[in-house]
């Protein structure tokens, strides 16, 4: 018996075969396409007609070709790759400039995940690897995202994960958490005051898309003794400058994708 992972939908496979054939032969007529694929003309017509109705294929003078909708889809993938590359580069720049540990995080399944991380010359503190998942309310990277999520999403995360303590400084009541997240929204940044690991502090800012939805967070962490209020204020200015640059350039990627 075939495993569940090997099961496919034959109709979807046929659609993909048709699109692959269009790539090589477009513009092409119905009969020629059906003959090339060795599929009944009536079957090819149904698939093509569906694609035409959904604006993925254009029919002109009896000939079929793929629409520019695929440029939009491919462009969105390229945009994600471009933004990811930009974000990684900026994390590395931050670590070189500050000498500290810089990182970028994202929310996945209600937890903070480290996307990129880079250690500078004087870095000291945690050894958290890329891909690490942890509670959103424990870290500055997580809190700054949590603060800007829709209320329903925030409630869902807290309901699913609770508010476990990482250290004695961790926010462990809903009222304290909501008050802290309001401060994050008002200030535009979040601080981790040994809430995840003892002896480690951090500061993070949110990165928004052009619809003012939080995409990722960007932050710097280091040892408590060096991360005084004044020192963290200086780091925050650097983070804000980098945040602005990423947001502006991410919009450029979007518009340049649309322009081709």
The CATH number that applies at residue 45 is 1.10.10.10
Q: Say if residue 58 is in the same domain as residue 85.
A: no
**Cα dist. 16→13, 65, 72 in Å?**
5, 14, 18
Q: Model confidence over 127-140: pLDDT tens digits?
A: 677 888 899 999 99
Last residue of a domain, one of 47, 66, 85: 66
pLDDT bracket for residue 251 (50, 70, 90): confident
* pTM, to two decimals: 0.70
Q: Is 78 exposed, middle or buried (0-12, 13-18, 19+ CB in 10 A)?
A: middle
Q: Say if residue 61 is in the same domain as residue 142.
A: no
Q: Say if residue 30 is in the same domain as residue 82.
A: no
Mean pLDDT in the chain?
A: 89
Structural domain count of the chain: 2
Question: DSSP class of residue 39?
Answer: -
The phi-psi region of residue 82 (left if phi > 0; otherwise alpha if psi is between -120 and 50; otherwise beta) is: alpha
Percent of the chain topping pLDDT 70: 89
Q: Say if residue 134 is in the same domain as residue 240.
A: yes
Which three-class secondary structure state does DSSP give residue 109? coil
Q: Note the pLDDT of residue 11.
A: 92
Residue 100 lies inside a defined structural domain of this protein? yes
Residue 27 is part of which domain span? 8-66
């Amino acid at each position: 018996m075939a495993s569940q992972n090997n099961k496919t939908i034959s109709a979807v496979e046929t659609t993909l075969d048709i699109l692959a054939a269009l790539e090589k032969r477009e513009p092409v007529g119905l009969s020629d396409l059906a003959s090339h694929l060795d599929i009944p003309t009536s079957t090819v017509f149904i698939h093509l007609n569906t694609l035409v109705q959904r604006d993925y294929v254009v029919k002109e003078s009896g000939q079929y070709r793929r629409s520019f909708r695929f440029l939009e889809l491919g462009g969105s993938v390229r945009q994600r790759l471009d933004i990811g590359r930009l974000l990684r580069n900026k994390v590395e720049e931050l670590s070189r400039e500050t000498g500290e540990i810089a990182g970028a995080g994202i929310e996945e399944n209600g937890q903070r995940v480290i996307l990129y991380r880079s250690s500078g010359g004087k870095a000291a503190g945690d050894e958290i690897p890329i891909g690490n998942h942890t509670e959103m309310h424990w870290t500055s990277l997580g809190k700054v995202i949590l603060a800007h999520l829709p209320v329903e999403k925030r409630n869902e995360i807290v309901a699913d994960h609770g508010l476990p303590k990482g250290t004695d400084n961790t926010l462990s009541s809903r009222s304290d958490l909501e008050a802290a997240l309001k401060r994050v929204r008002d200030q535009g940044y979040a601080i981790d005051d040994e809430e995840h690991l003892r002896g480690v502090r951090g500061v993070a800012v949110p990165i928004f898309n052009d619809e003012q939805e939080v995409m990722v967070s960007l932050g710097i962490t280091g040892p408590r003794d060096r991360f005084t209020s004044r020192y963290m204020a200086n780091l925050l200015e650097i983070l804000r400058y980098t945040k602005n640059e990423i947001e502006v350039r991410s919009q450029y990627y979007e518009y340049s994708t649309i322009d081709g």
